[in-house]
Chain A
Amino acid sequence: MDLILEGILKAFHLLFTLDPEVLGITLLSLQVSGTATLISLFIGISIGTLVALTEFPGRRLVVSLINTGMGLPPVVVGLFVTIFLWRNGPLGFLEILYTPAAMIVAQAVIATPIVMGITLAAIQALPKKLRLQILALGATRLQMVWILVKEARLPLLAGVMAGFGGVISEVGASIMVGGNIKGYSRVLTTATVMETSRGNFDVAIALGIILLLLAYFINLVLTHIQQRERPR
């Protein structure tokens, strides 16, 4: 018990004194996952909306692929991103393996299907007649898409949160493509894995608390979205 109690006390000490190493790791985590989420938003929302609004042969297959992608195992993503970025791999010339850039790439690959899937569902959940109503109001096709995305903004925010939550807590891909290099590519999850294996429970607990707080915040937003009413 002492081990846990001591660990927690020390963890709070690290948090409240703003330990530079813990702070650095946290900021890098937010930066990497934030950038990856942002990239996933551009790709996910545009393709998700496109698939939601168009009819084409093989649409069901595409939808099922997107939904499968929402549960992509991070280690598999890590493996393939590593292969692609490997020195003599197809994208080896970029020379970004074991850098935060590679982590952003891997995390974006993980988050994109999540955002895309939720966008697809959110746009499809809007009343079908809403599209007709928007067109009848004189909207161009582009204006209609924009209004629909605005209408689905809260579920889309849920998509953002889910995407961000997925990548900030992900460890497999980050450690494989980032290498957990101290002060360079070490993020909350990879640091927690390492500190735990070394027996530095205090630091690991401090990092764990930060991750929990982030998870709590994300869920707070999601719950709020879930509980709202739809307009008539």
Chain B
Amino acid sequence: MIAPPPLLTVKDLRVRRGGVRVLEIPSLVVEEGTIHSLIGPNGGGKTTLLQTLACLIRAEDGEFFFRGEKVSSSHGLLQYRRRLAMVFQEPLLFDTTVFENVASGLKIRGMDRSEIEKRVKQNLQRFGISHLMDRSARKLSGGEAQRVALARAMAIQPEILFLDEPFASLDPPTRESLMEDLEKILHQTNTTTLFATHDRMEALRLSDRIAVMNQGRILQIGPPEEIMNQPRDEFIASFVGVETILTGRVVRKGRGTFVASIDGQEVEAVGEMEIGEPVVFCIRPENVTLTVPPHQEATSARNVFPARITKVVPLGLYYRVHLDCGFLLVAYVTIQSLENLSLKEGKEIVASFKATAIHVIQKTKKSEPQPSLSGQKNSSVARA
């Protein structure tokens, strides 16, 4: 091989806990310098995967390779652990000063004092906490403490960084500013990162690739746009934030398009489908346009439905509008459009969306489009 091996390669990794299989990863490749997000609900196996790859949990079966070399829990374990760093949801700081905390990984490695001081100061500065250097770790706010934890990890100059929901217990403004800094630092240092989170916005923002996990398996992995726009199944769709998921059956087909009946309404989408086939439509709320009937603008949207507003939920910068147009539809509007169109509960309006804005999930299992998925459901039931 001429090209260097990927930084991390996982093969058939399986972890069992208390007799129950909690992780099963047939394969996973992490290229150097990339940021991978693991998203999924709690208990989906994200933490287990990170801890297994950090050799903090023993795998029951399978193997993984770091720079092409097999990582074994029997020998070379310490050397491997010294090339990685991990940050947990809790800062887990030591009861000493901020400086000593950031220095701890380096002290463990027996680095000399002047080098430690250099690296600690560099990382304190990167994370904007130089002024806290002599402060006791006991007297920090949640955000400051997590910054110290991240600085401690980065001071090691890890070849791979594992982040296990590092922002989960921070309030939104603190999380926002920390994420911004971390993003910058990870890109500057070109640190390969595996980042577990249950927040899809965090994942979208930070990662080159997203892996959706549930029940100890990776359901889909790919670039963020692919996961967001082409979720492979309903679970992924609901998890990555497609608010409208409709199920129906194909009633007509045209050239490259088809029409499906959904709760009595006809909706047009793009794709080749056979009549009578069951389909699932995912419509992202930002792709739904709302207009008030008299002033209807010319629209290229094929799907135009009169609708009644059933609920308006404020979400900070925009509003989520729930609509009843024979089927239930969710749209996002800005505060300004909400006011301009004077949208409120009970109002009759028109909702439209393009045929291309619909992501279609095929429900048929005849051709086994996702063998790993259908196989997974059976096996997980069998093992539970």
Minimum CB–CB distance from A155 to chain B (whole Å) comes to 11
Taken together as a complex, chains A and B put the C-alpha atoms of A140 and B85 apart, in Å, by 15
Given A138-B81, A231-B136, 14 more pairs with CB closer than 8 A: A129-B88, A132-B51, A132-B86, A136-B56, A137-B85, A137-B104, A137-B152, A147-B94, A150-B94, A230-B138, A231-B93, A231-B137, A232-B90, A232-B140
Q: Which residue of A lies closest to B141 (CB)?
A: A232
B82 interface residue, CB < 8 Å from A? Answer: yes
Counting chain B CB atoms within 10 Å of each CB, the highest count among A138, A140, A153 belongs to A138
Q: Is the CB of A232 within 8 A of B137?
A: yes
Write out the residue numbers on chain B whose beta carbons fall within 8 Å of the beta carbon of A47. Answer: none
A118-146 to B contact mask, C-beta < 8 Å, 1/0: 00000000010110110111111001000
| Overall SS of chain B's interface | mixed
A195 interface residue, CB < 8 Å from B? Answer: no
A229 interface residue, CB < 8 Å from B? Answer: yes
Write out the residue numbers on chain B whose beta carbons fall within 8 Å of the beta carbon of A154. Answer: 95
Taken together as a complex, chains A and B put the C-alpha atoms of A229 and B137 apart, in Å, by 10
Write out the residue numbers on chain B whose beta carbons fall within 8 Å of the beta carbon of A136. Answer: 54, 56, 81, 84-86, 162
Interface size on A, residues (CB 8 A): 22
Q: Is the CB of A129 within 8 A of B92?
A: yes
| Overall SS of chain A's interface | helix
A16-37 to B contact mask, C-beta < 8 Å, 1/0: 0000000000000000000000
Taken together as a complex, chains A and B put the C-alpha atoms of A147 and B96 apart, in Å, by 11
Interface residues of A in 149-181 (CB under 8 A from B): 150-151, 153-154
Interface residues of A in 202-232 (CB under 8 A from B): 228-232
Taken together as a complex, chains A and B put the C-alpha atoms of A150 and B107 apart, in Å, by 14
Return 23 A-B CB contacts under 8 Å, by A number: A127-B90, A127-B92, A129-B92, A130-B92, A133-B86, A133-B88, A133-B92, A135-B81, A136-B84, A137-B152, A138-B109, A150-B94, A150-B95, A228-B138, A230-B138, A231-B94, A231-B137, A231-B145, A232-B90, A232-B91, A232-B93, A232-B138, A232-B142
Taken together as a complex, chains A and B put the C-alpha atoms of A127 and B93 apart, in Å, by 11
Q: Is the CB of A137 within 8 A of B90?
A: no
Q: Is the CB of B82 within 8 A of A231?
A: no
Contact (A138, B95) CB under 8 Å given A143-B108, A232-B140: no
Tally of A-B residue pairs with Cβ under 8 A?
A: 67
B33 interface residue, CB < 8 Å from A? Answer: no
Write out the residue numbers on chain A whose beta carbons fall within 8 Å of the beta carbon of B156. Answer: 137-138
Write out the residue numbers on chain B whose beta carbons fall within 8 Å of the beta carbon of A138. Answer: 78, 81-82, 105, 108-109, 156
Taken together as a complex, chains A and B put the C-alpha atoms of A27 and B153 apart, in Å, by 50
Write out the residue numbers on chain B whose beta carbons fall within 8 Å of the beta carbon of A150. Answer: 94-95
Q: Which residue of B lies closest to A136 (CB)?
A: B86
Minimum CB–CB distance from A214 to chain B (whole Å) comes to 28
Interface residues of B in 57-86 (CB under 8 A from A): 78, 81-82, 84-86
Taken together as a complex, chains A and B put the C-alpha atoms of A147 and B103 apart, in Å, by 13
Q: Interface on B for A, CB 8 Å cutoff?
A: 51, 54, 56, 78, 81-82, 84-86, 88, 90-95, 104-105, 108-109, 136-140, 142, 145, 152, 156, 162
Minimum CB–CB distance from A175 to chain B (whole Å) comes to 41
Minimum CB–CB distance from B111 to chain A (whole Å) comes to 11
Q: Is the CB of A129 within 8 A of B86?
A: no
Taken together as a complex, chains A and B put the C-alpha atoms of A23 and B79 apart, in Å, by 57
Closest 5 pairs (CB-CB, A-B): A136-B86, A232-B145, A138-B82, A231-B137, A137-B105
Write out the residue numbers on chain A whose beta carbons fall within 8 Å of the beta carbon of B140. Answer: 231-232
Q: Is the CB of A132 within 8 A of B56?
A: yes
Write out the residue numbers on chain A whose beta carbons fall within 8 Å of the beta carbon of B104. Answer: 137, 147
Minimum CB–CB distance from B280 to chain A (whole Å) comes to 39
Q: Is the CB of A151 within 8 A of B95?
A: yes
A97-130 to B contact mask, C-beta < 8 Å, 1/0: 0000000000000000000000000000001011
Q: Which of A132, A140, A153, A229 contacts B138 (CB 8 A)?
A: A229
Minimum CB–CB distance from B295 to chain A (whole Å) comes to 55
Q: Which of B90, B105, B142, B152 contacts A129 (CB 8 A)?
A: B90
Q: Is the CB of A231 within 8 A of B138?
A: yes
Minimum CB–CB distance from A230 to chain B (whole Å) comes to 7
Write out the residue numbers on chain B whose beta carbons fall within 8 Å of the beta carbon of A137. Answer: 85, 104-105, 108, 152, 156
Write out the residue numbers on chain B whose beta carbons fall within 8 Å of the beta carbon of A129. Answer: 88, 90, 92
Counting chain B CB atoms within 10 Å of each CB, the highest count among A132, A143, A150 belongs to A132
Write out the residue numbers on chain A whose beta carbons fall within 8 Å of the beta carbon of B81. Answer: 135-136, 138
Minimum CB–CB distance from B84 to chain A (whole Å) comes to 7
Q: Which residue of B lies closest to A148 (CB)?
A: B94
Q: Which residue of A lies closest to B92 (CB)?
A: A133
Write out the residue numbers on chain B whose beta carbons fall within 8 Å of the beta carbon of A147. Answer: 94, 104
Q: Which residue of B lies closest to A154 (CB)?
A: B95
